[in-house]
Each structure stands twice: as structure tokens, then as C-alpha cells.
Amino acid sequence: HNAIRQHLAKLVSADLVEESVAAPNGRGRPRLQYSLAPGAESRWGVTGPYERLSMWLAEALATKETPVDLGRRIGRDEYRAGSGANTPVENLVAQMSRQGFEPTVNGSGDVVDIVLGECPFASAVLVSPDTVCGVHLGLAEGAAEAIGGIEVESLSPRDPRTANCVLRCRVVDDADPS
């Protein structure tokens, strides 16, 4: 186990793997969990953000979907559930993190802002902000729909080179028909 921990520590320090602490489950220290760092994907033969974006936009041309509708469908299809202990906000933040947005949460209660500290599509946004930000809004809406208990109210874009776009979200009761 010590050898594995040492290897994982090196992967974390090289920004290839992210370490998080699992929700407590019984006695003792909580487990450590590891996942592939979003920026590491394209370096290891997995599609990076621009390759994914280009495939999505090619698909939009073929299906004639709007950027928001395309993103919404992809967000639903690609959502990976977190542990059952996570809140809807934590699940959406985890999904945005996996996509490379480096999110943080501002506020609490029913309305929260998820501030996106990084734009994985910054160069593309400079060329076509309505299209790329539309896909991104749809991704967040689709993931929120798959998660349940949370709705994305709006996306407030910022300059992609400095990021900090804001997703305004509302925590909702799934049993509430509104």
C-alpha cells in the first residue's frame, strides 16, 4: 500500500490525478479517492476539450440542433453520478470540474452561483461566443437535469481568457412540478 500511495502522490503533484476525500463512512479516517485531472486527458490519448468541442459542433451541423439543445443532450448523456452523499450542487460542481472548468461555489441556500475559474474552450469562445457558450450552457443544463434537484437559471459569460463565468443555479425539490 505504501508504494501505491507514493505513486499516487507523484501523479497528484504532476497534476495528472486529483485527490479528494470521500464522505465519512463508519469509523476511522475517510477514504481518499483519485480521478484523472481534467487537463491531463488529452496528454494521455483521451480526447481533450477542443477535440470534444469539434466533435460536438460537427454533430450539431449534422443534426441541426441549436448549440444549447446539443449541449443539453450531451450533458444528460455524459453525466457521471457522484457518490450518493453528494448534494445536487456538489454533483454539478464535480461534473463541471471533470470538464475542466475549475468551479467554485458562491452562496448557499436555494440559489447559488457556480463560478467557473477556467474556460477549457477559451480560444473557440473568442471566435464564436454565442455558439460555444451556448453549448456550455446546455452541458450544464443537461447535467443538472440528469442530477435532479438543481436547475441552471443562467450563464453569465465573461472574457474567456480570464474566465470566471457564472452559472446561476437553483436548488429545487424534485417532487415539485414547477
| Per-residue pLDDT tens over the stretch 82-140 | 545 578 999 899 888 888 899 999 988 899 999 999 998 888 899 999 999 999 999 99
Q: Which of 22-31, 32-41, 97-106, 145-154 has the lowest mean pLDDT?
A: 32-41
Taking CB atoms within 8 Å and a gap of at least 24, the contacts of 85-89 are 85/23, 86/23, 87/149, 87/171, 88/144, 88/147, 88/148, 88/149, 88/150, 88/171, 89/114, 89/150, 89/169, 89/171
Closest Cα partner for 25 from 88, 90, 85? 85
Closest Cα partner for 127 from 72, 52, 50, 69? 50
Task: List the chain domain ranges.
Answer: 1-36, 48-171
Write down the architecture of domain 48-171 according to CATH. 2-Layer Sandwich (3.30)
pLDDT of residue 168: 97
Strand, helix or coil for residue 62: helix
Pair 144, 152: CB distance under 8 Å: yes
Whole-number mean pLDDT of the chain?
Answer: 85
pLDDT of residue 149: 93
pTM of the complete model beyond 0.75: no
Pair 128, 121: CB distance under 8 Å: no
